[in-house]
Structure 1
């Protein structure tokens, strides 16, 4: 795991998806407790660049390396 996701914080804005250079982030069919679809990271595609962390206004991501 390169990036930890806190799904409870996600508000489904999509900024992480459109800015990920490797298209490693997608929405799942699952919803968090607030009714927003959650995201998942494809570790095989992820390069831990930190763009998702930087773009997310809600602090969903933690870069682990």
Structure 2
């Protein structure tokens, strides 16, 4: 199964990825980056289907989708 990885220091909390996720797995976290933006997180990595819509929608290339180690 794929898993999303976020470069939280680049995130500006625009929430475009949250809107793009067809499974509604992304949400704002309780964490903030050095610039003071609330970062995005996946609330269920196991449910991610790897469609990459979140990564494509992100204007700052914050998200990358990686395969889980056991699916290689």
Any stretches of 5+ residues in structure 1 without a counterpart? none
Superimposed CA distance per residue, residues 11-65 of structure 1 (whole angstroms, 9 cap, x where no aligned partner): 0101000111000101011110000001111213211100011000001111113
Of 30, 43, 46, which aligns to 1:44? 46
Alpha carbons 2:3, 2:46 under 8 Å: kept: no
> So what's the TM-score if we normalise by structure 1?
0.91
Partners in 1 of 2:5 and 2:53 — Cα distance? 13
> So what's the TM-score if we normalise by structure 2?
0.83
Partners in 1 of 2:61 and 2:16 — Cα distance? 12
Partner residue in 2 for 1:28: 29
Partners in 1 of 2:53 and 2:7 — Cα distance? 16
Alpha carbons 1:28, 1:38 under 8 Å: kept: yes
**CA RMSD of superposed structures (Å):** 1.2
Q: Which has the larger Rg?
A: 2
